[in-house]
Amino acid sequence: MNTKFILGICIPLIVIIVLVTLSTVQTGFVVEEKLADGISMKAISENSQGKTLLTVTVTNDYFLPRSYALPQLVACLYDSSGKNQGQNVYARWATINNILYPGADILLYPEQDRADVSGLDLAPNDKKSVYFYTTSFYSSYIWRYDKLLLIENKDMTNYNLCYTITPAEVAGARQIPLTDDFGYSCPTVTSLNCRNQNSGYCDYKYQDWIKNKCPGVSILTY
């Protein structure tokens, strides 16, 4: 009698523990990632919100409901030449109900169409997509960089990661090229007189672009 009573309690308890454990195991998911082919420098400098950097689609082909933990990512501007320190780009994960138009990289507003997440709860044979997108960012000197890196920051312990990027972190990062589409070009002269001027080549942003992209061109500003 005691044996039956014990088995009657232990067996269901063991089954529950096994099922709960199986539902939390992070293996066996079908995960598809789509990284942005490139990010327009002009677009992100003029309106940085809502640019989709990474889309992850997860399928649970298991017989139990399960939870999928999303990677903890940090988005960083990166200069492959090593001349400029990395810079943080604010970004986060979210699910979304709609896209503004097919192929757009701008998430639909208003805010209620978006829900921030850190993981996905999936029913058996369920499939869901989630987006890692920019929330806010501004850089007057974005042309100093050539890549946007998505670096995994486990437990989000390194808050200065973008400023101290190591070669190993670069190698392991998801890398998105930045497209220089400002339409600027190097002047044909070797010296510019920009004293008391702020137009054409002497526009402050244009000046900085020239300093970074046009070796051999000097700019007089005083």
Question: Looking at this protein, which amino acid is placed at residue 155?
Answer: D
**Short-list 176, 55, 36, 76, CA closest to 120:** 55
| Burial classification of residue 117, based on how many CB atoms lie within 10 Å of its CB (0-12 exposed, 13-18 middle, 19 or more buried) | middle
pLDDT value for 101: 41
Token match 């997108």: residue? 133
**Whether the model pTM is above 0.85:** no
Domain ranges of the chain: 27-179, 191-220
pLDDT tens-place string over residues 35-82 = 999 988 877 776 666 788 999 999 998 878 888 889 999 999 999 999
Q: Which of 183, 188, 178 is nearest to 209 (CA)?
A: 183
Please tell me the predicted confidence (pLDDT) of residue 167. 93
Q: What is the pLDDT of residue 137?
A: 66
Buried b vs exposed e over 5-20: b needs ≥16 C-beta within 10 Å? eeeeeeeeeeeeeeee
Per-residue pLDDT of the chain (222 residues; tens, 9 = 90+): 566 655 556 555 555 554 445 445 545 688 999 999 998 887 777 666 678 899 999 999 887 888 888 999 999 999 999 989 999 888 888 886 554 444 445 554 444 455 667 788 888 889 988 888 887 666 668 888 999 999 998 766 666 889 989 999 999 999 999 988 788 889 988 888 888 777 788 888 888 888 888 888 998 887
Residue 127, classed as helix, strand or coil, is strand
> What token pair was written down for 179?
């497209």
